[in-house]
Amino acid sequence: MIEPFLSALPILKKLEDSGYDAYFVGGSVRDFLLGKPISDVDIATSATPDEVKKVFPKTVDIGIEHGTILVLYGDTSYEITTFRTESEYQDFRRPKEVSFIRNLEDDLKRRDFTMNAIAMDQSGKLIDPFDGQKAILKKIIQTVGQAEERFQEDALRMMRAVRFMSQLSFSIESQTLSALENLASLLDKIAVERKRAEFEKLLLGPNCKEAVNVMLNTGLYHYLPGLNDQKEQLKKLARLNWDSLAKNEMWALVLYCLNFDGKEVERFLRNWRLALKDIREIQQIIFFLSSRLNKEWELYDLYLAKRDTILSVEKLFQVINGMKEVQIINNLIKRYDGLSIKERGDLMVSGNDLLEWCNQKPGPWLKDTLLTIEQAIVEGRLINEKNNIKEWLMECNQK
Ligand code: ATP
Ligand code: MG
């Protein structure tokens, strides 16, 4: 067995010593079998949430109604979920009620795809009643049981199928794919936040372009905020090539393909329920990207954009133009690092100095003059030194 399972073994042991069954399940087992880096290990157990809380001294109720308890152990925390079935589904969404059960197989049966329905016990033995290992070998995404039934229970699973396709470069098994085509419209019922979590993972996957094509072919895109009538624009996205972009860079690239600007950008991102901080960051990237698409960077643009935005914008500029020139990006950062000031606070003069020197009442001229000084310093036409700035101003005033 390998990390991070090894460190989590004592959790399984403790549960078993207390008379319960416990297994590693879900994405961690799948990624282990794929030889991919394992993020967090999920644990499933026959113990009810109350029983889990009796076994471990430090726990947090993070989703107790669905049977999930967070156990704090050493300097790590583990999500432990009680075996459950989800008998009654309501309105194509999450189950109305979950029932805790004592049997592992029934728990695996309610999971979405066969590759995600494999359990591993503490000796490393795999319990795989739905042939998930075969699916992993064949690189296919297939629902546990009838695809149409499973997508009607929870329509988000359709979105999950496409995001796994993007992340794992698997293909979608034919019946699962037909069900996707037939039931795409049920995605309309799903909360935007749940769709966003899957969509963002899809955007960041190495096989994103193929996944976008599947969204186009199955019609899934019709039921995502702001993408309903954007077929050609999404095709444009699928024609671009990129290695790795951060989440907000990906959103900016989508928005570029959609040709959105100004208020449309904000509306689109708000409809996806992004955090305000991310919305502002993406708007900033879009703003400087539009400018960059029209002209080369000038020193004052670099000064206003700042390092992170410069990096994002130039990366996107290269993706859009089918280039990959790391040296250009490095040179830009060198130019940015060489700026004599990085923000207005770095100026060696203040509004008070100007009032004193110019002998005028405060007014809009003050802000304009500071801006002129700031720009001249950034562009290297003026040295950021008090006396120097004063002389320069007096000369300007005489002209
Ligand atoms: P990731 O590596 O992205 O975390 P994951 O497979 O672990 O992938 P999670 O969303 O963390 O995905 O879910 C953990 C497990 O719970 C899945 O592997 C799957 O077995 C099950 N699961 C999650 N969401 C659903 C769903 N909507 N329907 C059925 N089973 C689900
Ligand atoms: Mg997971």
Residue 27 labelled as part of a binding site: yes
pLDDT score, position 358: 84
Which of 31, 106, 111, 149 to mutate to test ligand 1, by most ligand atoms within 8 A of the CB atom?
A: 111
Per-residue confidence in pLDDT tens, the chain, 399 aa: 899 999 999 999 999 999 999 999 999 999 999 999 998 899 999 999 999 999 999 999 998 888 999 999 988 999 999 999 876 666 666 666 788 999 999 999 999 999 999 999 999 999 999 999 999 999 999 999 999 999 999 999 999 999 999 999 999 999 999 999 999 999 999 999 999 999 999 999 999 999 999 999 999 999 999 999 999 999 999 999 999 899 999 999 999 999 998 899 999 999 999 999 999 999 999 999 999 999 999 999 999 999 999 999 999 999 999 999 999 999 999 999 999 999 999 999 999 999 988 888 899 999 999 999 999 999 999 999 999 999 998 887 776
Q: For ligand 1, what atom is nearest to the CA of residue 40?
A: 4
Phi, psi of 362, rounded to the nearest 5 degrees: -60, 150
Residue 160 labelled as part of a binding site: yes
- For residue 152, the CA-to-ligand 2 centroid distance in Å is 22
Structure tokens at 90: 């309501």
pLDDT score, position 333: 97
Residue 261 labelled as part of a binding site: no
Considering every ligand atom shown, identify the ligand nearest to the alpha carbon of residue 38 and give its number: 1
DSSP string, 310-323: HHHHHHHHHHHTT-
- Judged by DSSP in three states, 85 sits in strand
Strands 22-25 and 119-120 come out as antiparallel
Ligand 1 neighbours, Cβ below 6 Å, are 26-27, 39, 42, 111-112, 116-117, 154, 156-157
- For residue 227, the CA-to-ligand 2 centroid distance in Å is 27
CATH architecture for segment(s) 139-239 = Orthogonal Bundle (1.10)
- For residue 278, the CA-to-ligand 2 centroid distance in Å is 23
Question: Which residue has its alpha carbon closest to ligand 1 atom 2?
Answer: 27
Residue/partner pairs of 190-196 with CB below 8 Å, 24 or more apart = 190/92, 190/93, 190/155, 190/156, 190/159, 191/93, 192/225, 192/271, 192/272, 192/273, 193/273, 194/156, 194/159, 195/156, 195/159, 195/224, 195/225, 196/272, 196/273, 196/274
pLDDT score, position 95: 65
Considering every ligand atom shown, identify the ligand nearest to the alpha carbon of residue 167 and give its number: 1
pLDDT score, position 93: 65
Distance CA 266, CA 278 (A): 11
Q: If you classify domain 344-398 with CATH, what class do you get?
A: mainly alpha
pLDDT score, position 86: 79
- For residue 116, the CA-to-ligand 1 centroid distance in Å is 7
pLDDT score, position 97: 73
Structure tokens at 188: 């309309």
How far is CA 236 from each of CA 9, 183, 209, 216, 257, rounded to the nearest angstrom? 47, 25, 10, 12, 6
Reported pTM: 0.93
Distance CA 168, CA 206 (A): 8
Q: Same fold for the domain at 1-138 and the one at 344-398?
A: no
Question: Which residue has its alpha carbon closest to ligand 1 atom 14?
Answer: 26
Considering every ligand atom shown, identify the ligand nearest to the alpha carbon of residue 201 and give its number: 1
pLDDT score, position 397: 75
Q: If you classify domain 1-138 with CATH, what class do you get?
A: alpha beta
Quickly count helices (H) and strands (E) in the chain: 20, 11
Which of 43, 116, 120, 166 to mutate to test ligand 1, by most ligand atoms within 8 A of the CB atom?
A: 116
Task: Indicate the CATH number for domain 243-339.
Answer: 1.20.58.560
The residues spanned by each domain of the chain are 1-138, 139-239, 243-339, 344-398
Structure tokens at 196: 């966003």
